[in-house]
A and B are shown apart, each in its own frame.
Chain A
Amino acid sequence: MTATEQADVSYAEMMAIVLARSFVDGEFGAIGAASQIPYAALRLATLTRAPNICWLSGGSGGINPVVGELPASSSDYRNALTAEAIYSLEDVVDWETSSRLDFACLGGMQIDQYGNTNMARLTTPDGRFVRGPGTVGLVFMSTFKKVYLYTERHTTRTLVAKVDFISGAGHLSGGDSRFERLMRRATGPVLLVTPMAVFDFPPPERRARLVSVHPGHTVDEVLANMSFVPRMDGDVPVTPPPTDTELAVLREVVDPRGVLRRPR
């Protein structure tokens, strides 16, 4: 890959590539609505390194859809038409509730240092009440076996020390606090991917740790744009840049129209 192509990698492409590297082959997962990045990540993973992943495309109920362009909406019925099978909402919710989904890719309007998420309501620092769209499937963060968190907003407003309202249970107040209330087989958030960096939630504290910073960004920039100081173990490495194969498959097969390269 030329230096020009490398410099041209959008943050959405970088996030999709990071997520694609993280999935475990053979697992069964789900994504939510408006999920172009995890949609692309799952397609990329199944085409490059994890062919046995099965995944549900959010609102459509479609399993392993292969729409030729990234759909803006995961509930786009074209997902259903190109899927291997379609499940009803009842089926999907049964799997979610009974903790039979290995993973989900989720976000929130606030994500905190323990991976708790909020989509319902918050109060701004100047005291204004802000309504979010609602908790929807985040309630199943209690039951998904693991959760990959992602957000396209690496900002002080999104990455907060403590969410105003817990829609989705992360590691609650850290340590083993989650497992005092919820099933142990649902292990909570394992990763947080943003446009600038990657975090994980290692025990025993299960607090966000800065794992790597994407090419073109600095640790200072990452820290200046969040409202808590993550754990850092020594020098933080650079996120490995996309390989030629990753970028080729992403751009030529998964996202030929360049949806992830457009201004977002």
Chain B
Amino acid sequence: MALLVDAPKRKSKVIPLEQLREWVPSGSTVGIGGVHSQNAPMAAVREVIRAGTTGLTIIPTPSAGIAVDMLVGAGAVSTLHVSYVGLEFLGMAPNFKRAAEEGTIDIIEGDEAWIVYGMRAGAGDLPFMPMPPMYEGTDLPSVNPLLKRTLDPHTGREVYTIPPLKPDVCLIHAQVCDIYGNTVIRGLRRFEHVMAKASATVVVTAERVVDGPLGEDPRVVNIASPQVDAVIEVPYGAHPTASPGDYLLDEDHLRLYAERSRAGDFDGYRAEFIDKPQDHIAYLEAIGLRRLLELRHR
């Protein structure tokens, strides 16, 4: 039997970057992908800042960097789950440090297990995640009242529990996806697929969005279409962090960001690299073709 020529077509999930603001309203809880300076959804972060978004609760992957620091610097964040927020070999995250020390953001004092098990609980909609003896040796429970104790019904022992973490939306950067949201994150098999499961909606930014067969072994698709709500194509969308297999991190730009932020000139950085370039292409023009090509992975 021939296929129906007038059958309805499968819907594309591609949206323009400018529409991201509708997916990340002020006051929402946002998951952010990436690990250190790899695969951070930077084009999305810059767009959220351009939109003037405020009052966000941020739950990043356990090793967060410039994406979170930039949102804090722009005043978009009210509450932050902290496992690690820093620039790794480039030192402290300057805007996060300042906001935390001045008390202008609320901090939920967590750690790697807090994020990973919290998101796992969120992914399965579990009531909580019970933990073996770990927190008993630390001061974390004294500053994080959400680390609550309960009785293990199997052993009768008191155990600490981590509550489910469930972002309203998560922002993930990928190397390639198709227009339906089948997503390939290359290089580091990290944590984004769990974050996606824990999140009510998922927005993927990708270096390349394919309208047609993805052409990949399905076993390397990290996040499948049913989980993805919107797809945005942004070449160099992780800059100044790295996009595995495409380009390396831009150490000079990360240093420039850190130095200007430390010197109290985040607003100047923001004007030059976020607000003045009104869209992603203009941002890439501000960075310059020569620099972008130098960063290509060899």
A associates with B: yes
Give residues in A with beta carbon < 8 Å to B: 33-34, 59-61, 72-73, 75-77, 80-81, 86-90, 93, 96-99, 119-121, 129-143, 165-169, 172, 178, 181-183
A133 to B111, CA, bound (A): 10
Interface string of B229-273 (1 = CB under 8 A from A): 000000000000010110001010000000000000000000000
B63, A59: Cβ atoms closer than 8 Å = yes
Contact between chains at B140 and A139 (CB < 8 Å): yes
Q: How far is the CA of A232 from the CA of B131 in the complex (A)?
A: 38
Question: B residues 164-207 with Cβ under 8 Å of A?
Answer: 186-191, 194
Q: Are B190 and A88 in contact (CB under 8 A)?
A: yes
Report the interface size for chain B: residues with CB under 8 A from the other chain. 52
Chain B residues with Cβ below 8 Å from A137 are 62, 111-112
Chain B: which residue is nearest A79 at the CB level?
A: B188
B110 touches A134 (CB 8 A): yes
Given A33-B36, A61-B188, does the pair A135, B111 have CB atoms closer than 8 Å? yes
Asked, given contacts A136-B62, A136-B63, A136-B111, whether A88 binds B191 with beta carbons under 8 Å apart, the answer is: yes
Given contacts A135-B83, A136-B112, 4 further A-B contacts (CB under 8 A): A73-B37, A93-B112, A142-B135, A142-B136
Q: Is B63 a contact of A181 with CB atoms below 8 Å?
A: no
**Residue of chain B at shortest CB distance from A129:** B101
B279 within 8 A of A: no
Report Cα–Cα, A93/B61, bound state, in Å.
Answer: 13
A residues in contact with B83, CB < 8 Å: 134-136
Q: Is there contact, CB below 8 Å, between A90 and B194?
A: yes
Q: Which of B37, B109, B116, B186 contacts A135 (CB 8 A)?
A: B109
B191-A81 in contact (CB<8A): no
Task: Check: B212 CB closer than 8 A to any chain A CB.
Answer: no
The 8 Å CB contact of B36, one of A73, A143, A167, is A73
For the complex formed, measure the closest distance between the CB of A259 and the CB atoms of chain B, giving whole angstroms.
11
B residues less than 8 Å from A166 (CB atoms): 137-139
Q: Is there contact, CB below 8 Å, between B138 and A142?
A: yes
- Report chain B residues within 8 Å CB of A129: 101
Is B57 on the interface with A (CB-CB < 8 A)? no
Using CB atoms, name the residue of chain A closest to B39: A77
B84 at the A interface (CB under 8 A): yes
Interface string of B89-123 (1 = CB under 8 A from A): 10011001100110000000111111011001000
Binary contact readout B47-64 vs A (1 if CB under 8 angstroms, 0 otherwise): 000000000000001110
Q: Min CB distance, B33 to chain A, in Å?
A: 11
Q: What is the chain A residue whose CB lies nearest that of B97? A: A131
| Contact A165 B139, beta carbon cutoff 8 Å | yes
Contact of A167 among B100, B138, B251 (CB under 8 A): B138
> Measured between alpha carbons, how far is A134 from B97 in the docked complex, in Å?
11
Query: Assuming A33-B63, A88-B189, A139-B134, is B111 touching A59 (CB within 8 A)?
Result: no
Given contacts A61-B189, A97-B131, A134-B83, whether A76 and B38 have CB atoms under 8 Å apart is yes
Indicate if B133 sits at the interface (CB-CB under 8 A): yes
Q: B131 to chain A: which residues have CB within 8 Å? A: 97
Does residue B228 face the partner (Cβ distance < 8 Å to A)? no
A110–B139 Cα distance when bound, in Å, is 14
Closest 10 CB pairs of A and B: A169-B137, A133-B86, A77-B187, A131-B100, A135-B111, A136-B84, A77-B244, A139-B111, A142-B134, A75-B36
Of chain B, the residue at the smallest CB distance from A170 is B137
Contacting A59 at CB < 8 Å: which of B36, B101, B114, B249?
B36
List chain B residues, Cβ under 8 A from A130: 101
Of A89, A96, A182, most B-chain CB atoms within 10 Å = A89
Chain A residues with Cβ under 8 A from B14's Cβ? none
The answer to whether A90 and B63 touch across the interface, beta carbons within 8 angstroms, is no
CB <8 Å contact, B189 and A142: no
Interchain nearest-CB distance for A204 vs B (Å):
19
Query: Nearest CB to that of B36 among chain A residues?
Result: A75
**Chain A proximity of B144: nearest CB distance (Å):** 10
